[in-house]
Structure 1
């Protein structure tokens, strides 16, 4: 039974994407709050699917494929929805940087795997830190409304710009690790 939980959580994360979109666009004052919490729930499933898979040694090939796909779908969808809601130049640049990096690094990992050197581009600590800033930024931006005196959207934008900067840096780290093979 435990061996199926990580894949179930990953599939649940994918299924939460249209739910998040639905609540984001509903014309109710509370809808953005719910969209934010759907995104947070998806982030929690991301943590627990990996934790359970490692703790109980129930990793699967399906899970190894689906987990990063689910993450990228959730983040990309949220960023595109947010960009449509706030089509500013800085928001567009941050979205393009984050989505472009995800595509580039995914292609790089696939190529490195074909060469038998996938471990050269394993997840680095900067990638994990980038993910934390990215998830926090998206959560704040989905919520949007000020909370008491706290400017939630401004904090979200600041976190997004930090995430975009870390995104560029992490891409450089990965490309530098792969550079010796790319030069051949």
Structure 2
């Protein structure tokens, strides 16, 4: 194993995966949401940077090739667990998250069974889009958690009628409640659309991988 910069970035991305969940143990919300968003986004960015540097500097290695998909999956799996938790197991999030986790577990088990043969099944461009969609959706949903927390805290103790009047513009919005509510709504819908798109890409690429592996499973 060579401690090149691309490999170091991959290891840091792997370590950042559990860090996203641990943040919620030591920081109160919405700070935990914002820090998790920054940490996750930074780690997701290294997914592109380490691959680019490895190819540009001719530093591609077996260690990096092995660890890169593990780091990606760890990031996605742990982040989805955190989001499912603070979303109250919202079915709009829980269903695609479940299918994504199922696919990742299935493909990981299939790769383990295939052993060295798995290396001959090349990663498609669609699979890269799948990873990008997953990470973008998760980053957006982390921002939803932050907006939601601000909105709840600043409307705490207000009656539903007062909140409705503020959102309708009938009462002065002295606390900036409206933009927090809009941010919560917009980021939630954008995150949900991206998450469901990621789910579709995840299932399609999983089916494609299984189809390619069938010749190696005969007998």
TM-score by length of 2: 0.74
Partner in structure 2 of residue 162 of structure 1: 197
Q: 1:123 aligns to what SS in structure 2?
A: coil
Shift of 1:117: 5.8
TM-score, normalised to structure 1, is: 0.87
Counterparts of 1:51-130 in structure 2, within 5 Å, are 51-86=52-87, 87-114=89-116, 116=117, 118-119=119-120, 121-130=121-130
Alpha-carbon deviation of 1:79?
A: 0.4
The residue aligned with 1:8 is 8
Question: What value does the CA root-mean-square deviation take over the aligned residues?
Answer: 2.2
Q: Secondary structure at the match of 1:27?
A: coil
3-state secondary structure, aligned to 2:28: coil
The separation in 1 between residues aligned to 2:114 and 2:36, in whole angstroms, is 36
What are structure 1's unaligned runs of at least 5 residues? Answer: none
Task: Name the counterpart of 2:19.
Answer: 19
Higher relative contact order (CA 8 A, sep 6+): 2
1:177 Cα deviation after fit: 1.3
Gaps of 5+ in 2: 149-178
